[in-house]
């Protein structure tokens, strides 16, 4: 365990029933601090098993709790030799690897990115599923959930006149069908890369979705009905 004392990182180790200070290459550069008691460590064996199921390896597994992004602290399980790091939330639920054509996976991603009651954009691109929200009149925060990593956030200087909407109006099954059903029909190529974005630019009283595959873009309402001809 590494803790802070007088702005310096000190590490304690336990071996053969003895706790003592040990050498460590960890330095304190403003990382987020946390209480171990706020993390669910009741069944570490289950976490190891879930991580092994995803990575295909259970060799020399190691659990760590540390900062992932902008103050967000998560649990991780790694193996040696190193495989893909598997992340767990504070309550020990696994951060799954996602397939954005699957409704349950879309629902998990939406929960991770749409953390407030209002957003101005929800979309999917090659980085993952994301949501934009206004911080103030000149700052927008984007939270991105990649397929195999936890959500992360970034601020940018920008303004938008789009009307905000509540992400609860979005249906995970409808969004999943954009990749599984609708995108392949636009080009006849099931493997064609597709992106989509949801916002209120059409001023219809509800958000609309623009699905783009190659040079083709179609517009859908929240029920998944094609309204391209209506919006022009």
39 and 68 co-located in one domain: yes
41 and 147 co-located in one domain: no
132 and 226 co-located in one domain: yes
83 and 121 co-located in one domain: no
Residue 17, domain member (yes or no): yes
209: three-class secondary structure by DSSP: strand
198 and 116 co-located in one domain: yes
**Residues in Cβ contact with 41 at an 8 Å cutoff, skipping those fewer than 6 apart:** 92
* 199, 163 contact by CB (below 8 A): no
Domain of residue 35, residue span? 2-88
38 and 131 co-located in one domain: no
Average of per-residue pLDDT across 96-107: 96
**Residues in Cβ contact with 231 at an 8 Å cutoff, skipping those fewer than 6 apart:** 202, 204, 208, 219
How far is it, in rounded angstroms, from Cα 219 to Cα 225? 8
Average pLDDT over all residues of the chain:
92
Residue 11 pLDDT exceeds 80: yes
Among 18, 53, 88, give the residue marking a domain's end. Answer: 88
* 118, 165 contact by CB (below 8 A): yes
168 and 212 co-located in one domain: yes
81 and 115 co-located in one domain: no
82 and 122 co-located in one domain: no
* 122, 130 contact by CB (below 8 A): yes
Number of folded domains in the chain? 2
pLDDT at 152: 95
Residue whose structure tokens are 């991770």: 112
Residue 94, domain member (yes or no): no
53 and 107 co-located in one domain: no
pLDDT at 1: 86
163 and 122 co-located in one domain: yes
pTM assigned to the model: 0.86
pLDDT at 44: 96
**211: which 2 tokens?**
């699905």
Residue 98, domain member (yes or no): no
pLDDT tens across 169-202, in order?
999 999 999 999 999 988 777 778 899 999 999 9
131 and 189 co-located in one domain: yes
């Amino acid at each position: 365990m590494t803790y802070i004392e007088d702005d310096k990182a000190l590490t304690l180790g336990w071996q053969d029933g003895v706790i003592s200070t040990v050498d460590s290459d960890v330095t304190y550069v403003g990382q987020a601090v946390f209480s171990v008691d706020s993390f669910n460590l009741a069944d570490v064996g289950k976490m190891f098993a879930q991580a092994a199921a995803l990575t295909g390896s259970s060799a020399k597994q190691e659990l760590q709790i540390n900062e992932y992004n902008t103050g967000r602290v998560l649990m991780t399980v790694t193996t040696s030799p190193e495989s893909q790091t598997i992340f767990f939330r504070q309550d020990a639920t696994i951060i799954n690897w996602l397939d954005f054509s699957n409704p349950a996976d879309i629902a998990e991603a939406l929960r991770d990115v749409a953390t407030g009651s209002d957003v101005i954009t929800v979309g999917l691109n090659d980085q993952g599923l994301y949501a934009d929200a206004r911080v103030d009149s000149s700052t927008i925060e984007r939270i991105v959930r990649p397929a195999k990593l936890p959500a992360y956030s970034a601020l940018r200087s920008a303004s938008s006149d789009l009307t905000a909407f509540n992400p609860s109006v979005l249906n995970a099954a409808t969004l999943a069908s954009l990749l599984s059903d609708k995108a392949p029909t636009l080009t006849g190529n099931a493997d064609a890369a597709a992106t989509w974005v949801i916002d209120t630019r059409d001023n219809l009283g509800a958000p609309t979705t623009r699905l783009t595959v190659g040079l083709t873009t179609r517009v859908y309402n929240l029920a998944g009905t094609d309204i391209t001809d209506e919006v022009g």
